[in-house]
Structure 1
Amino acid sequence: MSTGYPTITIDLILDRLTTKDVLHGVLHSILFHRLFGTVRPRTFEVLDVTMPGVSDPEMEQLVSEKVDTFWKGIEGGVNKRGQIIVTFSEKRPKKSWFQVYMGEEDVPWEQWVINAELRQPKSDRDCQAFNATLASSLTNTIHTMLSHTSSERGRSAVPLITNAAGISPFPIKVTVKVGDVEVG
């Protein structure tokens, strides 16, 4: 399905102990790279991987709510796979068939899809290997974010910033799905 805007996919295999920390770090990193207002930076240490983040009460609340929604959906159900989808949009005038102005609509310009699967290592040795693999995945995730946001395609996806008020001039929608069903 071609959407006409970039979709960046991040695949993660998580365990019970690190799921919330990893998802907090990844969501904050996406926001850090895609918020264009005045951002106070902060960092997250997840499995010895330093991840950038945003020190803003509104964004921290959004991230916490969505991570908690994901966790409750995974914990309460039989399906141990889910997605968190972050969509950045811009407001454009909405017109009817006869070119009559009908208000505004959100038009997506970029989407980040975090595919997460919950698994549980059986032994201590498995746990150490699992954490090493997850740390490597997080490092690759940060590299993917940096590569995309600094690439020509990543820069050209960003629409003109016409409103400098607030931390983000663009609407942000974060959707949580567990087993292809939207939750929260």
Structure 2
Amino acid sequence: MNTYPTITIDLILDRVTIKDVLQAILDAILFHRLFGTVKPTTREVFGVTMPGVSDSEMGQLVEEKVELFWKGIEEGMSKRGQIIITFSEKRPKKSWFQVYVGEEDVPWEQWIINAEIKQPRDRDRQKFDAALSNTLTKAIHTMLTHTSSDRGRTAVPLITDATGISPFPIRIAVKIGGVEIG
């Protein structure tokens, strides 16, 4: 059983919006969970201003994962998938006799973005876009509420390495139809 917080964001997207929305959501999560010196940026998606981080390395990672998700949806039969961001810390790994044998990544927080792809009819487009805008607003609210809550703040381990944009390992996994790809 996971002892760390898991935050879930559910999205219903279409082929036109999938890349922009997923990149905005991932950027916003990273904005709230990177603890190094970051250059903030914003992105407008469906009338919602989403925070982000202006960093070429993180931007490339986000683009790669969103592209992997896109290709998985396009090639697969499933129109549902997940992008899972796991934040961990490095801890000394012990063997049976309490001897340290290297380091291991121990998760301290996980974000799960569930995305379902639907194609709205032309007459339903305005309603679909309004619902997506509302969902993005709720996602930002979820991020703010969690990261500023006691549980969200106490989940973050002590920062012992102040170099780089993130003192913690970040893993972004893509699953389509329950199977991890990439």
Which TM-score bucket, shorter chain as reference? over 0.9
The match for 1:146 is 144
Provide the rounded CA distance (Å) in 1 between the counterparts of 2:100 and 2:120: 56
Letter in 2 for 1:155: R
Cα deviation, residue 122, structure 1: 1.3
Kindly, what percent of the aligned residue pairs are identical? 73
TM-score by length of structure 2 reads: 0.99
Kindly tell me the number of residue pairs found equivalent between the two proteins: 182
Task: Give the match's secondary structure for 2:109.
Answer: strand
| Root-mean-square deviation (Å) | 0.5
TM-score by length of structure 1 reads: 0.98
1:13 aligns with 2:35: no
The match for 1:165 is 163
The match for 1:34 is 33
Cα deviation, residue 102, structure 1: 0.3
Provide the rounded CA distance (Å) in 1 between the counterparts of 2:142 and 2:3: 20
The match for 2:100 is 101
Provide the rounded CA distance (Å) in 2 between the counterparts of 1:147 and 1:30: 12
Which residues of structure 2 form unaligned runs of 5+?
Answer: none
Q: What is the correspondence of 1:169-180 to structure 2 with a 5 Å cutoff? A: 169-180=167-178
The match for 2:83 is 84
Provide the rounded CA distance (Å) in 2 between the counterparts of 1:16 and 1:131: 13
Provide the rounded CA distance (Å) in 1 between the counterparts of 2:126 and 2:62: 28
**Runs of 4+ displaced beyond 3 Å:** none
Provide the rounded CA distance (Å) in 1 between the counterparts of 2:43 and 2:15: 18
Provide the rounded CA distance (Å) in 1 between the counterparts of 2:137 and 2:175: 24
Cα deviation, residue 83, structure 1: 0.1
